[in-house]
Chains A and B, each alone.
Chain A
């Protein structure tokens, strides 16, 4: 804690105002540029159909949001997504963290071999049918597990955690070992607390991946609609073609309603994001542990 205070005070020592001014202006421009596509989606979600919309709603209406909020199945899909994302993230990050911890040990035998084992997972895939056959024979198709288990191994995250752990000072662990701490204890009581920024970002990546993933659902859920996650629900909506002879108001507003769906579907992640950022800001530095 002491160190953090000092690090705050360092900004006060000597500052270059020009650097900061340029930095703020540039960041603001970049931020606004990134907001543009989003503004378009918001404008679409608040507009009447068949009008050219750029960044401001035309023919303002709440109809699209109202339709989404009245859609029971949308919220069921949202619930499934939250479930899959929460459980999947916990399971995946736990597995990846434990494996990364082991692989970060320089003297662990077959370290290189195991890494290549995982790299191959990242690069090669058996293809659609074999994947389906395996998941099906385990009785997992048409269950929520089919959206979680095949996504547990996230090699990219494994590598990230591993390289982070390798950067930690060896003394941390050695002093704990002298105190007679078990591996489990070291992993979760000593190393994990100092890895918060890394674990937080990996959790975020995993959650985003699971949240957006529709391929697993598409492949393994088959016709089991009650389990469709939000991503697949929206995709299905986008791909559906209403019968033009039976056009209803909902059909006419189709793409505007989809914009509203996209916005609502991003909300949970947006709400969670500041909490992740907190871990970045508070990121306990290794120095403070040493002190």
Chain B
């Protein structure tokens, strides 16, 4: 306490801050219990296991043969897991692929659910609206293996799309086997599967818009598009920004399951991402090889944290809103 007092004496601003904090605590202390269940679950099921991140710096502890603590202390400290990861001359290429695919997905796919949500919310007919919402929601439930399989058929050399191309006098295209087609296809398939599901957030945000705003605009004679642009979008902007920040946080995740099911020998150049590369080498997935996968997770996590903090900072500066 006395040390605290000294510091407070020396710094008026800090004292002010501390006073605010204290009064904040006093004012809100009845709220704290409501925070506790979520925090306890987080502490027990997320933070406690996070001690395990240290495995990234260990030479494969032999869990199973020894008790956890013993296995951990027997394994020697090492940076080998990171060395294996970064000494590989190709890993940079695959980090690049990961980022390119991810950025393409964000730039092209992020706005689409918003547009879809706006379109859906403009539908007057309730039944039509429900049917459409049901339809666009469906693909989310199919696994990537199923979706890729269907596209393989559609895009087959003798499939319907190539039949169309040849009947119009073009040459058949081996879509699934051309490096150049891989990234566009990843984006298209991903959009196909997830746009409808992602739009739900925005649909629900739009329903919360105060309808008196529209009435005022209509009295002013604003066109539909203008109403969307001037009312709907600004009203759901906080939701959009929050979603964007979270999405940016997942930049290092280009969609392992999707890319894994779509990759083939011809498309590795443009399509191999960190996840699939590590998986393919059997590193980190050697079933008793825990160090490397933990190292990859830690690397991705650090980058995500930096990205989220950065995106949130910029958003606060620019729009005055963020995720905190």
Q: A residues near B, CB below 8 A?
A: 3-4, 6-7, 10-11, 13-14, 16, 19-20, 23-24, 26-28, 30-38, 40-41, 52, 54, 94-96, 98-99, 101-103, 105, 107-112, 114-131, 133-135, 138, 149-150, 152-153, 156, 158-160, 162-164, 166-167, 182-183, 187, 197-198, 200-201, 204-205, 208, 212, 238, 262, 266, 269-270, 273-274, 277, 280-281, 283, 285-287
Contact = CB atoms under 8 A, between A and B. Distances in A.
B214 A7 contact: yes
A174 B305 CA distance: 36
Interface stretch (B83-91, B205-213, B261-269): B205-213
Interface in B153-190: 153, 160
A36 B31 contact: no
B134 A150 contact: no
A153 B36 CA distance: 12
Contacts of A24: 123, 128
B49 A98 contact: no
A157 B117 CA distance: 19
A7 B45 contact: no
A32 B210 CA distance: 32
A205 B246 CA distance: 15
Nearest to A265: B141
Main secondary structure of the interface of B (DSSP, over half): helix
B76 interface: no
Contact of B200 (A23, A101, A201, A274): A201
Contacts, number: 277
A204 B200 contact: yes
Interface stretch (B8-16, B272-280, B292-300): B292-300
B79 interface: no
Contact of B238 (A20, A122, A135, A166): A166
A149 B208 contact: no
B21 interface: yes
Contacts of B293: 127-128
A27 B207 contact: no
Contacts of A16: 223-224
B119 A27 contact: yes
14 contacts: A19-B122, A27-B132, A30-B136, A38-B139, A99-B38, A124-B50, A126-B51, A152-B38, A159-B242, A198-B204, A198-B208, A208-B141, A273-B133, A280-B207
Report, nearest first, the 6 A-B pairs whose CB atoms are least far apart.
A130-B52, A126-B49, A283-B207, A115-B324, A126-B52, A109-B24
